[in-house]
């Protein structure tokens, strides 16, 4: 008998890449995707013709089934600050209430994988950030619906591991970019690329000296593929995954303005409680996933993403969003 796998958020940016990788697995009998198309795009899945895949257009917190799954991968949640800040309650529901619903659907001893975030470190006081760092999060601040629902979901899943013996994999992703991000997603790389190709004005918030560590999606999904589905890994997480090259937001904007003719930078007011820096300590990641390294340079990753945005904006394909 093959595996029954449930993925939430499978129509999203990272989720759709995960779905492609899952469908390469010969041990997979049935793949259910639960997505409500809040931030996902239909076009991210239209290339798939595999009969093992079934799409349930539904909120993860309301999804119901009598089936039990061998593996559940919980990705449903917006990751973009403007999107989660616009609908904070809905964000908490997607992460936490979604996870509470999903734990009823796992086979005894089955595996739950969860995409947590570097946001659990808040505005960090140490750099790079190892998994042992407890973070600096404002639990009533403007980012808290996202940060705290990720933290609470980590807590819930760890308790389920302790009390019910689920096989757990929690990953803390640092900033990921690449093809299949919504052009109106609002995160830095995707925003700068779509702005460069449309208005020509790249909006840098604050002085732009705040920094992030930008991971190209293929590299990140290579790591997730190993961490989420290799049986021999005996580590529940949390595991940092990302690219540890840290680059300021202003440098990202300058690079994109240099490679897209006619683009220029517009300095804008800072956004409240914007973290000043983020860089993963990948020591543990390199131990748990020996041989894995981010291979795509930032410059190459941005050029590839630019080509994807050019094609997508020209074809108008992203307009199928609800």
Catalytic residue among 84, 121, 133, 146: 146
Closer to ligand UDP by Cβ: residue 204 or 289: 204
Q: How far is the CB of 121 from ligand NAD (least distance, A)?
A: 11
According to CB under 6 A, which one of 78, 81, 98, 215 is a site residue for ligand UDP?
81
Q: Which does 191 bind (CB under 5 to 8 A by kind): ligand NAD, ligand UDP, none?
A: ligand UDP
The answer to whether the CB of 95 falls within 8 A of the CB of 29 is no
Q: How many CB atoms lie within 10 A of CB 157?
A: 24
* Residue 171 neighbours by CB under 8 Å, 6+ apart: 113, 114, 115, 116, 223, 224, 227, 228, 237, 238, 239, 240, 241
The question of whether 146 is a catalytic residue gets the answer: yes
Distance (Å, whole) CA 188 – CA 173:
16
Q: How far is the CB of 239 from ligand UDP (least distance, A)?
A: 19
According to CB under 6 A, which one of 101, 129, 175, 181 is a site residue for ligand UDP?
175
Binding site for ligand NAD (CB under 6 A): 8-9, 11-15, 34-40, 59-61, 75-79, 94, 98, 115, 117, 173, 175-176
How far are the Cα atoms of 43, 197, 201 from residue 257, in angstroms, in the given order?
28, 10, 9
According to CB under 6 A, which one of 205, 235, 292, 308 is a site residue for ligand UDP?
205
How far are the Cα atoms of 146, 186, 313 from residue 102, in angstroms, in the given order?
19, 29, 36
Q: Does 188 bind ligand UDP (CB under 6 A)?
A: yes
Closer to ligand NAD by Cβ: residue 60 or 202: 60
CA angle 55, 57, 59 (to 5 degrees): 125
* Residue 258 neighbours by CB under 8 Å, 6+ apart: none
Among the residue ranges 161-169, 186-194, 279-287, 314-322, the one whose residues contact ligand UDP (CB under 6 A): 186-194
* Residue 285 neighbours by CB under 8 Å, 6+ apart: 223, 239, 240, 241, 292
Closer to ligand NAD by Cβ: residue 224 or 257: 224
Q: Does 249 bind ligand UDP (CB under 6 A)?
A: yes
Binding mask 271-310 for ligand UDP (x = CB under 6 A): x--x------------------------------------
Dihedral of CA atoms 212, 75, 169, 166 in degrees, nearest 10, equals 160
Residue of minimal Cβ distance to ligand UDP: 187
> 3-state DSSP helix/strand/coil percent for the chain, to nearest 5?
40, 20, 40
Q: How far is the CB of 88 from ligand UDP (least distance, A)?
A: 14
Q: Which does 249 bind (CB under 5 to 8 A by kind): ligand NAD, ligand UDP, none?
A: ligand UDP
Q: How many CB atoms lie within 10 A of CB 233?
A: 15
Closer to ligand NAD by Cβ: residue 19 or 196: 19
According to CB under 6 A, which one of 120, 204, 241, 260 is a site residue for ligand UDP?
204
Question: Is residue 55 classed exposed, middle or buried when 0-12, 13-18 and 19+ CB atoms within 10 A define those classes?
Answer: middle
Active site residues: 146
Note the residues at the interface with ligand UDP (CB under 6 A). Answer: 80-81, 175, 187-188, 191, 203-205, 210, 212, 249, 271, 274
């Amino acid at each position: 008998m093959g595996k029954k796998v449930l993925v939430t958020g499978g129509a999203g940016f990272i989720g759709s890449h995960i779905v492609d990788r899952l469908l390469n697995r010969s041990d997979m009998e049935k793949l259910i995707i639960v997505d409500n198309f809040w931030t996902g795009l239909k076009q991210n899945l239209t290339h798939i013709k595999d009969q093992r895949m079934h799409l349930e257009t539904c909120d993860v917190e309301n999804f119901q089934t009598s089936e039990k799954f061998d593996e559940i991968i919980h990705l449903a949640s917006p990751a973009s600050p403007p999107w989660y800040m616009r609908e904070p309650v809905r964000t908490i529901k997607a992460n936490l209430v979604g996870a509470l619903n999903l734990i009823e659907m796992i086979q005894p001893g089955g595996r739950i994988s969860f995409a947590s975030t570097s946001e659990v470190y808040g505005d960090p006081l140490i750099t790079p950030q190892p998994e042992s760092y407890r973070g600096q999060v404002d639990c009533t601040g403007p980012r808290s619906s996202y940060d705290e629902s990720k933290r609470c979901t980590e807590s819930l899943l760890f308790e389920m591991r302790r009390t019910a013996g689920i096989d757990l994999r929690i990953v803390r992703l640092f900033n990921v970019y690449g093809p299949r991000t919504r052009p109106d997603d609002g995160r830095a790389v995707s925003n700068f690329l779509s702005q460069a190709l449309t208005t020509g004005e790249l909006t840098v918030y604050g002085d732009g000296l705040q920094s992030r560590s930008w991971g190209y999606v293929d590299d990140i999904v290579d790591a997730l593929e190993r961490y989420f589905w290799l049986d021999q890994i005996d580590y529940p997480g949390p595991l940092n995954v990302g690219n540890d090259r840290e680059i300021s937001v202003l440098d990202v904007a300058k690079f994109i303005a240099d490679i897209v003719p006619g683009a220029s930078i517009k300095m804008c007011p800072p956004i409240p409680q914007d973290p000043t820096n983020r860089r993963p300590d990948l020591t543990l990641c390199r131990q748990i996933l020996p041989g894995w390294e981010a291979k795509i340079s930032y410059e190459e990753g941005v050029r590839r993403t630019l080509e994807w945005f050019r094609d997508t904006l020209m074809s108008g394909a992203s307009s199928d969003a609800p």
